[in-house]
Structure formats: structure tokens, C-alpha cells
Amino acid sequence: MGKLNVIGLGYIGLPTSLMFAANGIEVVGTDLNAKLVSTLNEGKLTFEEEGLEEVFNTALSKGIEFKTEYEKTNRYIITVPTPYMATSKQIDATYVVAATKQVLEVCEPNTILVIESTISPGTIDKFVRPIIEEKGFKIGKDIHLVHAPERIIPGNMVYELENNARTIGADSKEVGEEVKSWYKSFCKNEIVVTDIKTAEMSKVVENTFRDINIAFANELAKMCDREGMDVYELIRIANKHPRVNILTPGPGVGGHCISVDPWFLVGDYPDIVNVVLGAREVNDGMPQYVFDKIHKIMKEHNIKDYSNVGLYGLTYKENVDDMRESPTLQLLDIFEKYNIDNVKIYDPFIKEKKFEGQVINLDSLLNDTELVVVLVSHDEIKNNQHMLNEKIVYDTRNIIENGKQVYKI
């Protein structure tokens, strides 16, 4: 087999390509972003992730290459973004289609083309197979199609790449087993080989399951808030039942998985989904709920100006620099809708100034603010709770124990 060409060097493609290379597979990483490729070729990572630098250095020592051009080979893994269309909620396969077309321009005979991007069930049948056939290639002979959905989370990528089970969907058992052998170079857990459509559905269903359970916790939080109850106490007690495991409520759902993938099912099966749609609406509605509660707290304490409000956290989860679809970004959109642009914002993982009102450290956030809204549970804020003692705190993550007055989600 030829070199392995990984297409797309973002949050999934980069660590995946590094893991392959560090474990003995010849890898070329391709991305159309010339600045990103240049940074990697300078020996610098493009985002922070625990344990990734060590893997990066090992991959460099094994000869990994980074280019803006597609490699002429017979092994490809596509890891490009897969958003959904705002109106129909169906998958926007534009990036997958473009990458596939580029592969077909350079690939060698008997090529294995793996789509690792998360896709809705039937995406390969609807979008990928027709392109291949239109180009005159024979599927199963010239091109072998595979779907191998990623299953990792920012903040724990290296561990999960090595230890999470994987799914390989392929047209033929033989090709599935071949691709399984690639991933076995670093994956220590079970790798299941199945058909393509089942593999497509499995990833979407996994994230939808989590979305639904988070939505239930968020609805409980709203009910408890109305009744003056402590939702965390309620969940703690309910979870003592041996078959109950209620998750933790929060200010919304972010990242490129849970906040996106369930929409694929809404878009593809509008006549079937009810629970999935309801969960999406609940979770997407949480930033508005947080905004309304901020306004209520301000009114209660006679805080008249939003310049006295500080938002802590921009990323979608703790201790990472990934802001994709974060609840804070959604909240900032709501502020903008109401022409509010004078709140202070701070996140220790976002070094570059990206927003009006963004400050450089926690001290700057706390200076001249009366109300601090904790939106992300970074270790920094967990370990420096004493700095909030004199502040009114709206804690959407249930991490602040003491303060002048602490409100929960």
C-alpha cells in the first residue's frame, strides 16, 4: 500500500494523522489552509491538547509530511467539516464532496477512500458514490469506500484515540479488515466492522443520545428554578437509583458533535423524530435562558449597566481552546441582538483578542464588575474561587461554593 493521505488537519484530522505516523504508518497530512500547513512544518502545533506535543514530535521523527496538495497514493482518509444547512437541517456535504473530487483527480488504481467526518446515514450513497461513478470509476474495483467515524473529545484526544472502541463501515469485509489493520496501529480497544450505513448512523445516534440526556437535565433545571428547588440535590438523590444516571445541566451544548449531529436526523426524518427535535430545541434555547436570568439577577441587585457584567469562559468545554458552537458564543449573539456590546469577556485558553470587551486575565475581568457569569468550568476558576468572594456570581456549571451571593443554572 502507498502512503496514507489524511485530508483536513483540524481538531480530528491532525491528531489522527499524528497517531498513524507515530505508530509507523507513512503519512502525508493535507490541508488547503496554507498558514496552518506552514505552522505545522515549522514544528508548531495549531491547537493545545494534552499529550499531543509528544505524539507530534514522534510523528515528525518518523517523517510525517504536511502539504496543501493531495498526495498521489491509494490510501485516503477525509476528515473535513460537516455542518448542517440552517433551513433544512440536513447535512451540508460540500466539503466532503469537494475533498472526494480532489482525491479522484490524483488517486492510484485500487484506492481505499475512508470518510472519517461525521455524516448522516445515507450520505455516502447520496453524495459520494454518484461522484465516483460520474468520473468513470468502478466502486469495489477502482475505489473502495469506507466510513470510519471518529470518537474522540477535545481535552482527552490522545487517550481516547488509543482507548476508545471504533467502528469501520465498508462495502466488503476484506476492505473493512484492511482499514481495521490501519487503526489497530494505535487503537487498543475493539474495532467493529459493519456496513457503511450502520456506521454512519452509529456516530449520529451516539451524539443524539447524549443530547437528549443533557436536554432532560436542562428541563429539570428550569422546573426546579421555577419551584425554588436545588436541581443538583434532586439529581444527586435520583441518581442513587441503580438504573438512573441523570446528567448535569448547563448553559447550552457546544462543540462540533452534540450540537450538530442530531440535526442530521431532524433534517432526514422530519416525519419521525419528536424526542430528538425537542432535545435540540431545549439545548439550543439554554443561552437565551441564561441571558434572561442574567437580566433578572441584574434587576434584583439594581445593576443597571451591562458593563458591570463579566462572562467567564468562551470555549465549549473546560480546559481546551475549542470554541466551536460554544454556549458563550451563542449568548454573545443574543447580546448583539439586543445591541449590548459592553460586557467583559475572558477565557484563559483564548489568547488572541477576538471579541469586543475581551480582557487578558481574570483580574481584568473582575475589576469594576459586580456580576460574574461562570460559563465554563476551567481549572483556573475552580482553583481561584476566592477571587469571586465579593462578587455576585451566576454559576452555570455548579463549581462555585462560596461568594457574596451565588446563583445556579
Nearest CA to 301 out of 377, 362, 232, 372 is that of 372
What region does 373 belong to: left with phi over 0, alpha with psi -120 to 50, or beta?
beta
Alpha helices in 249-371 (DSSP H): 261-268, 275-284, 286-300, 327-337, 362-366
- 257 has catalytic annotation: yes
Contacts of 77 (CB under 8 A, 6+ apart): 4, 5, 6, 7, 13, 16, 17, 114, 116, 148
Alpha helices in 107-156 (DSSP H): 123, 129-134
Measured CA to CA in angstroms, residue 350 lies from 10, 76, 361 at distances of 17, 33, 10
Distance of alpha carbon 223 from alpha carbon 284, whole angstroms: 17
Q: Which of 180, 203, 293, 391 is catalytic?
A: 203
What region does 398 belong to: left with phi over 0, alpha with psi -120 to 50, or beta?
left
- 203 has catalytic annotation: yes
How many helices (H) and strands (E) the chain has is answered by 16, 13
The catalytic residues are 203, 257
